[in-house]
């Protein structure tokens, strides 16, 4: 019998629970390979070894080269892989989500497919933005109006704080340069926040397209989710950059770098993971690798891999 080389594929019981793993690991300008059950990371400073089973999401930034063998190990150990811009500012693509379980996705689909539960989740999102007000009885129209007033107030406060003139939000997706400095900074800041939101949603196995407030776009839930953090992150940073750099032609790039630095400590990432699970009502997301069932509308989940057949007369039961 030929002896197999390399590390064996881990059993389900050997894989770490999500809460026991390192949350996110960001890498840039490095070469990724595999040695046994570890990802090797090589750059100008040398080589580091990262046990694959203790990392939940690997964020691959600019200048990363990754081998087929490394990707094989990531897949075997249930690691989520996301290709991003510098410090996660933009999300370009993603591999399989870190949870091979579909719990988050199923919860999201169930909640968004029922008008009552969809409104309940939308209210929960708005409640996060109005912690001192009870919004449980407000209609979607009332919630939109309340949120619109809040955002306008945030703009006015930031304008007063920084001295940056504010008139209104203007955004032309086909002509970034046509905007005023503050509008260009806001566009760049929001795009960075969308990128981070998309990375978290994809890595956790939820759907970017199943929105509760926004709808009809493949990134509807990304817009929903990012809106929770704009008043705290992208809007203040945009005004600060507009105050500091004014008509600088690179204001978009400088804004993205500022957002990158705000994301760098990782605290927003951890908060987003918690908020996402709370919004969808899933307290824990295990890495249920290889757990596959058959759905039945009357009998519940049935075992996969069993040869089912229709009973005929004489078969017995």
Nearest alpha carbon to residue 196 among 269, 251, 261:
269
d(CA 148, CA 159): 17
Paired strand residues for 51: 38
Closest CA to 110 of 277, 227, 281: 281
Pair type for strands 30-35 and 38-43: antiparallel
Give 139-181 pLDDT, tens digit per residue. Answer: 989 999 999 999 999 999 999 999 999 988 887 777 667 678 9
Residue 32 pairs in a beta bridge with 41, 66
Task: Give me the pLDDT at residue 291, please.
Answer: 44
| Residue spans in the chain of domains classed CATH 1.20.120.920 | 103-279
Positions of CATH 3.100.10.20 in the chain: 12-84
Q: Is 68 annotated as a binding residue?
A: no
Pair of tokens at residue 293: 């069932």
Buried residues in 56-70 as b, exposed as e (16+ CB within 10 A): bbbbbbeebebeeeb
pTM surpassing 0.75? Answer: no
Which pLDDT score, from 0 to 100, does residue 228 have?
Answer: 95
Q: How far is CA 177 from CA 160, 185, 234, 248, in A?
A: 25, 11, 19, 11
Q: Which residues of the chain have pLDDT under 50?
A: 1-22, 287-292, 304-305, 311-312, 315-317
Q: Is the dihedral of CA 237, 240, 241, 242 positive or negative?
A: positive
CATH architecture of 12-84: Ribosomal Protein L15; Chain: K; domain 2 (3.100)
Q: What is the largest CA-CA distance in the chain?
A: 87
Helix (H) or strand (E) holding 99: none
Q: Enter the tokens of residue 66.
A: 């990754």
Is 227 annotated as a binding-site member? yes
Domain 103-279 - what CATH class? mainly alpha
Provide the 3-class DSSP secondary structure of residue 130.
coil
């Amino acid at each position: 019998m030929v002896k197999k080389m390399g590390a064996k594929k881990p059993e389900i019981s050997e894989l770490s629970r999500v809460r026991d793993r390192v949350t996110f690991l960001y890498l840039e300008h490095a070469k990724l390979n595999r040695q046994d059950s570890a990802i090797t990371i090589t750059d100008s400073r040398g080589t580091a070894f990262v046990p694959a089973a203790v990392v939940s999401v690997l964020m691959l930034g600019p200048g990363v080269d990754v081998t087929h063998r490394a990707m094989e190990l990531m897949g075997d150990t249930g690691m989520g892989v996301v290709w991003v811009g510098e410090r996660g500012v933009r999300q370009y693509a993603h591999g399989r989500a870190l949870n091979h379980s579909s719990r988050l996705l199923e919860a999201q689909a169930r909640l968004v497919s029922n008008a009552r539960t969809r409104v309940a989740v939308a209210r929960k999102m708005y409640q996060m933005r109005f912690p001192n007000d009870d919004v449980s009885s407000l209609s979607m129209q009332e919630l939109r109006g309340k949120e619109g007033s809040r955002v306008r107030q945030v703009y006015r406060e930031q304008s007063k704080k920084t001295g940056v003139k504010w008139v209104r939000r203007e955004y032309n997706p086909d002509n970034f340069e046509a905007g005023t400095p503050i509008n260009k900074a806001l566009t760049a800041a929001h795009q960075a926040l969308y990128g981070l939101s998309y990375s978290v949603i994809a890595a956790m196995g939820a759907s970017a397209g199943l929105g509760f407030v926004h709808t009809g776009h493949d990134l509807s839930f990304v817009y929903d989710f990012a809106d929770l953090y704009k008043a705290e992150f992208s809007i203040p940073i945009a005004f600060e950059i507009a105050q500091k750099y004014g008509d600088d032609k690179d204001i978009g790039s400088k804004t993205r770098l500022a957002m990158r630095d705000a994301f760098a400590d990782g605290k927003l990432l951890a908060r987003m993971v918690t908020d996402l699970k709370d919004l969808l009502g899933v307290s824990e997301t295990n890495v249920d690798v290889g757990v596959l069932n058959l759905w039945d509308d009357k009998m519940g989940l049935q075992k996969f891999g069993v040869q089912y057949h229709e009973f005929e007369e004489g078969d017995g039961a």
